[in-house]
Amino acid sequence: MADLVRRLAVARGDEPADLVVRGGRVLSVFTREWLETDIAIAEGYVAGLGDYEGTEEVDATGRYVVPGFVDAHMHLESPKLLPDEFARLVLPLGTTAVVADPHELANVLGTDGVHWLLDFCAELPLDVYFMASSSVPASRFESPRRALNEGDLQGLLRRRRVLGLAEMMNFPGVIAGDEDELTKLGLTGATHVDGHAPGVVGKQLNAYAAAGIRSDHEARTVEEGRERLRVGMWVLIREASMARNLQALLPLVEEYGTSRIAFCTDDKDPDDIAENGHINGMVRDAVAAGIAPEDALVLGSLNPALWHGLDHLGALAPGYQADVLLLPDLESFRPEVVLKRGRPVEEIARSEVPEWVKHTVRIGPVAAERFRIVWPNEAKARVIGLVPDQVVTESLVEEPTVRDGEAVADPPRDLAKIAVIERHLGTGRVGLGFVRGFGLERGALGSTVAHDAHNLVVVGTNDADMARVVEQLGELGGGIVAVDDGEVLAELPLPVGGLLADLPLAEVVERSRACTEAAARLGCRGATPFLTMSFLALSVIPSLKITDQGLVDVDRFELVPLEANDLDHKAG
């Protein structure tokens, strides 16, 4: 109450502001105007716009003054950084708030891990809001440490910074009226729900939206985006390190304006953020593509806040939190000054990590023989076909290369072997298959980041190197690794849940970049080989994926054998 009384006194001009941002051009996100005015800040909030006096001043002459950026949907684990290091990375880029789905850590550590993450983020200068992870596991074809039940979700929904239910990834279950999925939607506090509906259109989209799900970040085409807007859903335009949908969906902004559209990053690598930016990079690229700067800024600030009901964020107006960016121009969108709650961001203290969130890679010795695929004569194989810069895949049928009765990787044909090994309970279960499109010429790559259950995934050209990758990941307690001829070329240890590094930001970025460069030397095409590999285990994005249980035909939503009938599948 005292803070509000003081804020009102400052707004009336009866008391001086704590700080006045003076002389800049201030964006009104509500009218898309640039106002020649000052901003009075009191107790971390904007008290008023106009002519004010203050105890301190920030000179914004010649600068564009805009609200801090808000990421509408992301996974805090994807940059592989502890949250304090993530805050050090994105706050200088102007991201002052994020809405996170912690289902990566939930798959590995259950709700204990999620509650730890919420507590870890509570004192950060970056505002981290959460959605309760609705899909652990994402489907019955995945093997997390344990599934989250209704009681787990209800406990999360009671937390102060949990806004609602995270992306409903089992879209076939929702559309079919599956009792378990509908029960989640009926939980107390689950009235605000994020969606996940790749490729869903027509009556199936009607059914998904009729369940009360009001957003989707999986639209890849204007047609898909248009359908979602027409049924009342928000389109969260995603520009991740791998799934890059910004350019394809910007015509929606030109066609309909900014209403019910917002920016999100979903999954971005740390080196990608360091080099190309975060939400500010999306704003920059949207403006470069012809979107008005005012509209692009709204998509990255006000609209994410509106979707999530964060009524105190996303604007520079009386009563809004004073998250303020000073931009030198409307081209780079890299702020010169970032004020968080009206103050410069101070040094963020390093946080301690408890031992119990580590040591999550539980696998026994895995010999090269475990990757052998005995093959019947003349049979064809289902093959996962990569789609450049997308998380969807093709379901292909190929004649495998067979030697001595075994189906083997064949680099000249761009056919690599892929395996997913269960790592949470030590079951020894392994799913085997083939993938086309990596360009891998030799060696093997592996990771304990493998959406969404985060079992161990390895792609390779020979069984010996694949076994060496698994051995090294076990020794590290999780991470990403590149191996050639038994030698570890590069590695990034991720001991926290097998997902997060406990190293400083600069070292994580350096090691992540080294792993990507090592993969390129092994022949990998594409900018994000490890992120690409991690999504091949996600059984709720079409069309063919692999888990420790085997190959998953996502279109049919069923497990299928590696051996294929070429009449039922697209030939490669």
Q: Which residue has the tokens 């999360």?
A: 156
Considering the domain architecture, whether residues 17 and 154 belong to the same structural domain is answered as no
Query: Is residue 352 a part of any domain in this protein?
Result: no
| One domain, residues 319 and 306 | no
CB 387 within 8 A of CB 217: no
How far apart, in whole angstroms, are the C-alpha atoms of residue 455 and residue 361? 9
Does residue 572 or residue 68 have the better pLDDT?
A: 68
pLDDT of residue 526: 83
pLDDT, position 172: 94
Residues 340 and 419 in one domain: no
Residue where a domain terminates, one of 325, 345, 365: 345
Pick left, alpha or beta for residue 263 (phi over 0 → left; psi -120 to 50 → alpha; otherwise beta).
beta
**Do residue 466 and residue 555 come from a single domain?**
yes
Question: Which tens digit of pLDDT belongs to each residue from 303-356?
Answer: 999 999 999 999 999 999 999 999 999 999 999 999 999 999 988 988 889 999
pTM for this prediction: 0.93
Q: How many domains does the chain have?
A: 3
Same domain, 443 and 548: yes
Average pLDDT of the chain to the nearest whole number: 96
Q: Is the pLDDT of residue 569 over 60?
A: no
> Does one domain contain both 308 and 319?
no
Res 570 pLDDT > 80: no
Residues 322 and 469 in one domain: no
Angle at 285 between CA 71 and CA 315, to 5 degrees: 40
Q: Which tokens belong to 135? A: 């899909």
Domain-embedded: residue 72 = yes
Residue 487 is assigned to a structural domain of this protein: yes
Burial grade of 65 (CB within 10 A; 0-12, 13-18, 19 or more):
buried
Phi-psi region of 415 (alpha: psi -120 to 50; beta: other; left: phi over 0): beta
Strands (E), 456-514: 456-460, 479-484, 487-493
Calculate the CA 63 to chain-centre distance.
Answer: 32
- Rounded distance between C-alpha atoms, residue 397 and residue 114, angstroms: 40
Does position 93 have pLDDT exceeding 70, yes or no? yes
Evaluate if residue 571 carries a pLDDT over 50.
no
Q: Which amino acid is at 137?
A: P
Same domain, 289 and 319: no
Instruction: Say yes or no: 471 and 522 in one domain.
Output: yes
Structure tokens at 434: 């083939």
Residue numbers of the domain that contains 533: 357-564
At which of 288, 312, 336 does a domain end?
312
Q: Is residue 458 part of a domain?
A: yes
Structure confidence at residue 142 (pLDDT):
96
153: tokens are 């979700």
Q: What CATH number should be reported for the domain holding residue 203?
A: 3.20.20.140
